[in-house]
Amino acid sequence: MGCCDPWDYHATYAGVAEAMQPGDLPAVVWGRPQPHVCLGQHQSASVELNAAYADVPIVRRPLGGGGVWVDPDQACVVLVAPLDFFPFRSAGWYAHALQPMVQVYHEAGLPVTLTAQDIWLHGSKLAGSGAATIGRAGVVGSSFMLDFPVEQFAGRVAVPSGGFRQWLIEALRASLTCWSQHASVPDWEWLSMVYRRAANGQFGWRWEQSRLREDERAARDDWRAELIPDHEGSARMVPHGIKINAACYLTERQYGIDWVRVLTQGRRLARVALSAAPGLPETLLAAEPRSIAAELAIHLDSAAAHLWAQRITETAYFNPEAI
């Protein structure tokens, strides 16, 4: 699929999965969707997105993960296969399904690594992925991130303050990367050719270009309505904030007229700001959570230090799988 309608793209791979039966051949759906905001399957537009922006479609994909910006500078790839194609444990799906993409990067001279469901390059996240079971099929989707407009995405995220949005832009620039920052961007035909060759070696495939069957088209049309995002949600996927990557989260919490803003990296507090101490060095508390009160006591009285230490701990978010 070339530069395609985002609803049609997401409905297509979902429809292929819905119609797939045991014994069917795996399928790969390629696409360069038109600009849109793509929410994860458990997210609500009302709490995740800035209501002031209505210039691009909002789609809630049938895959996990958080909200992302998608446009034609991303070559999206979704692998759909009967469940017996994948490892028994779902945690192994990513290493299995994304290996051809990793090989494409390596052939382009980009020494990427795969950690959990993310592809990393030189310490920054280059691509994420999502997975789901739809009908009797497994689905794993990702993209070749050729370029990424940080401001376009950050402007569409619902934020509690201007300071939060600025931190978000800075964190995205520091934590994410794209192909164009490291090498010349390849053309679509080269990506397709090398991916096919890599998948041939990994899975033993022989490629055939195909059109949707009648049952796949019917399932695709049914799925379009399922992609309309919920506007009635009340809770964000990350409480009080947003996931930057699997190791990094930005959160901000209000306490009446007071507030706390925290950027976590791994198990550490990488950056903190408090309304009670505007002059506090933001990286001063880059430490284990148990030492927060002691460090704050240098700048605040004992009672205030313990109160704000508790608020920082309540506000900070860490990847549950890393705890």
Please report the pLDDT score of residue 51 as a whole number: 83
Please report the pLDDT score of residue 267 as a whole number: 84
Name the band, by pLDDT with cuts 50, 70 and 90, for residue 3: low
Beta strands in the chain (DSSP E): 3-4, 27-33, 36-39, 58-60, 68-70, 74-82, 113-115, 118-121, 124-127, 129-134, 137-145, 241-245, 248-255, 258-265, 268-274
Would the pLDDT of 286 be above 90? Answer: no
Please report the pLDDT score of residue 1 as a whole number: 59
Please report the pLDDT score of residue 238 as a whole number: 93
**What rounded mean pLDDT belongs to the chain?**
91
The domains located in the chain, with CATH, are: 3-226 (3.30.930.10), 247-322 (3.30.390)
Would the pLDDT of 78 be above 80? Answer: yes
Would the pLDDT of 161 be above 60? Answer: yes
Whole-number CA gyration radius for the chain: 21
DSSP class of residue 211 equals P
How far, in Å, CA of 317 to CA of 272, rounded? 12
Please report the pLDDT score of residue 41 as a whole number: 85
Please report the pLDDT score of residue 37 as a whole number: 94
Would the pLDDT of 285 be above 70? Answer: no
Please report the pLDDT score of residue 92 as a whole number: 92
**Burial tier of 305 (Cβ tally within 10 Å: 0-12, 13-18, 19+):** buried
> What is the rounded average pLDDT of the residues 102-121?
95
Name the band, by pLDDT with cuts 50, 70 and 90, for residue 277: confident
Would the pLDDT of 298 be above 70? Answer: yes
Please report the pLDDT score of residue 32 as a whole number: 92
- Percent of the chain at pLDDT > 70 equals 95
> What is the rounded average pLDDT of the residues 57-76?
92
Would the pLDDT of 94 be above 90? Answer: yes
Would the pLDDT of 242 be above 80? Answer: yes
> What is the rounded average pLDDT of the residues 123-128?
94
Name the band, by pLDDT with cuts 50, 70 and 90, for residue 222: very high
